[in-house]
């Protein structure tokens, strides 16, 4: 067996604990932790997105612990220092279907010796997992904070075709027929080439990640985001190229093209040391584990398996936090309104953070921490 690369020390405050344990669902889960771990301290779980890690919550761990919470941020299935998953593109997708990702977090709650979670918080794809945690097990996950990515609701009833699902399918198919042929990034991520194209990027993995993080941040946003007029191919084509890509390009090539005329130097929010953590970790694991989430989410067979949850609503206190300059909020027309109006029955608040893009909890941590503490204490 080939020798595994050594793990670099994570640049964290000494008060942050690094732990790992069997989660009872096939993983040896790695997580970061802060705060008093006794049974009386309310638990907050932070779920990262793509391409992120537990490390993406480095600015929240101590701040939320100092506010009186036991705070835990895991590397989720397919990511970082959590092991027990396979990066084989032919892996059984049921392991990466969202209800099994929820089971991973339930296993972690059990390992922590807790019976409930005061708040589950998710960013990007982690927002989707957090929403499903609250949807399926409201008895365990008592409140929900979603960052950057709105949750439009549970699956529609198979016996009652959802017209919006048909519209979306037609819009995605229509991208390839535009005068400038395009493709949606989620379908690219679900395909066979994405992992190698990004991991072996011509500009180098570190520079690919630097560019990707830059373009989706406030520093890289050139046009103020706004809701799209409708769910059509021509509307979706208005999104930045990292969401709706040129048909002939991969993501690394898209990023290289996007920053070709820019000076992308040091970032005010992502230090060279932190960028090095992402580069080292994804250099070691590749992206395939995270990409399998997209493959499961875009698989008709996998989505059919979620029909048992059709029509469920999220019935715990819920909120949404996003950067004002994040196009991802508007990526699916109507999702924000559907989340506030229909998907969540106990809606508390929607907050937009100034001078922040997609990586809101890293770009403007103080503002996000204040918003989270306000939400947690209001619903304590």
Q: Identify whether 188 is part of a domain.
A: yes
* Domain shared by 183 and 127, yes or no: no
Distance CA 244, CA 225 (A): 14
Structure tokens at 229: 């007029």
* pLDDT, position 342: 94
> For residue 301, what pLDDT band results from cuts at 50, 70 and 90?
very high
pLDDT-derived band at 2 (thresholds 50, 70, 90) equals very low
Write out the residue range of the structural domain in which residue 69 sits.
17-157+311-378
In a domain, 358, yes or no: yes
Catalytic residue, from 75, 104, 124, 326: name it.
Answer: 124
294 domain residue, yes or no: no
Q: Is 145 part of any domain?
A: yes
How does pLDDT run across 9-43, given as a tens digit for each residue? 999 999 999 999 999 999 999 999 999 999 899 99
Is 59 a catalytic site residue? no
139 backbone dihedrals φ, ψ, rounded to 5°: -70, -25
Rounded CA-CA distance 179/378 in Å is 51
Q: 59 with 135, same domain?
A: yes
Cα distance between residue 182 and residue 179, in whole Å: 9
Q: Which one of 230, 254, 289 terminates a domain?
A: 289
**204-252 pLDDT, tens per residue?**
999 999 999 999 999 999 899 999 999 999 999 999 999 999 999 999 9
Longest Cα–Cα distance of the chain, Å, equals 60
pTM for the whole structure: 0.97
Residue 110 falls inside a structural domain: yes
Tokens (6 digits) for 342: 């229909």
7 domain-assigned: no
Integer Cα distance of 180 and 132 in angstroms: 36
Residue that is written with structure tokens 């250099």 in the block: 283
The per-residue pLDDT for range 149-188, each reduced to its tens digit, is 999 999 876 666 677 788 899 999 999 999 999 999 999 9
Supply the pLDDT for residue 6. Answer: 78
Q: Is residue 306 part of a domain?
A: no
Of 48, 70, 214, 358, the active-site residue reads 358
Domain stops at, among 289, 323, 344: 289
What's the number of domains the chain is made of?
A: 2
Are residues 124 and 203 both part of a single domain? no
Residue 374 known to be catalytic: no
Q: In whole numbers, what is the pLDDT of the chain averaged over residues? A: 95
Question: Under a CB-based contact definition with an 8 Å cutoff, are residues 35 and 64 in contact?
Answer: yes
Check pLDDT > 70 for residue 332.
yes
The CATH number assigned to the domain holding 150 equals 3.40.50.1820
Same domain, 23 and 152: yes
Whether residues 31 and 88 fall in one domain: yes
Model pLDDT, residue 158: 63
pLDDT (tens digit, 9 = 90+) per residue, 283-293?
999 999 999 99
Is the domain of 182 the same as that of 133? no
- Identify the band that residue 260 occupies on the pLDDT scale cut at 50, 70 and 90: confident
């Amino acid at each position: 067996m080939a020798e595994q690369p050594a793990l670099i020390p994570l640049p964290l405050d000494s008060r942050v604990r690094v732990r790992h344990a069997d989660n009872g669902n096939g993983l040896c889960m790695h997580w970061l932790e802060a705060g008093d771990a006794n049974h009386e301290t309310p638990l907050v779980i932070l779920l990262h997105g793509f391409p992120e890690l537990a490390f993406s919550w480095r600015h929240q761990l101590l701040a939320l612990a100092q506010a009186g919470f036991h705070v835990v941020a895991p590397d989720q299935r397919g990511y970082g220092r959590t092991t027990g998953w396979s990066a084989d593109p032919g892996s059984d997708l049921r392991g990466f279907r969202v209800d099994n990702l929820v089971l991973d977090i339930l296993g972690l709650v059990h390992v922590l010796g807790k019976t409930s979670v005061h708040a589950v918080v998710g960013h990007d794809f982690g927002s989707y997992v957090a929403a499903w945690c609250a949807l399926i097990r409201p008895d365990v996950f008592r409140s929900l904070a979603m960052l950057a990515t709105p949750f439009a609701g549970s699956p529609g009833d198979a016996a009652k075709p959802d017209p919006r699902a048909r519209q979306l399918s037609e819009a995605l198919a229509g991208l390839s027929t535009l005068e400038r042929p395009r493709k949606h990034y989620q379908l690219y991520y679900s395909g066979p080439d994405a992992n190698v194209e990004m991991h072996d990027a011509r500009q180098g993995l570190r520079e690919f990640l630097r560019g990707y993080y830059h373009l989706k941040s406030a520093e890289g946003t050139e046009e103020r985001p706004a809701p799209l007029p409708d769910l059509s191919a021509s509307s979706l084509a208005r999104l930045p190229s990292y969401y709706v890509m040129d048909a002939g390009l991969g993501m690394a090539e898209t990023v290289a093209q996007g920053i070709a005329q820019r000076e992308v130097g040091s970032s005010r929010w992502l230090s060279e040391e932190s960028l090095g953590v992402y580069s080292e970790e994804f250099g070691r694991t590749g992206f395939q584990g995270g990409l399998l989430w997209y493959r499961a989410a875009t698989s008709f067979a996998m989505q059919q398996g979620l029909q048992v949850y059709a029509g469920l609503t999220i019935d715990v206190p819920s909120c949404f936090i996003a950067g004002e300059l994040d196009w991802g909020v508007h990526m699916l027309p109507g999702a924000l309104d559907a989340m506030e109006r229909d998907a969540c029955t106990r809606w508390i608040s929607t907050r937009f953070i100034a001078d922040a893009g997609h990586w809101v909890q890293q770009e403007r941590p103080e503002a996000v921490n204040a918003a989270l503490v306000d939400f947690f204490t209001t619903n304590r």
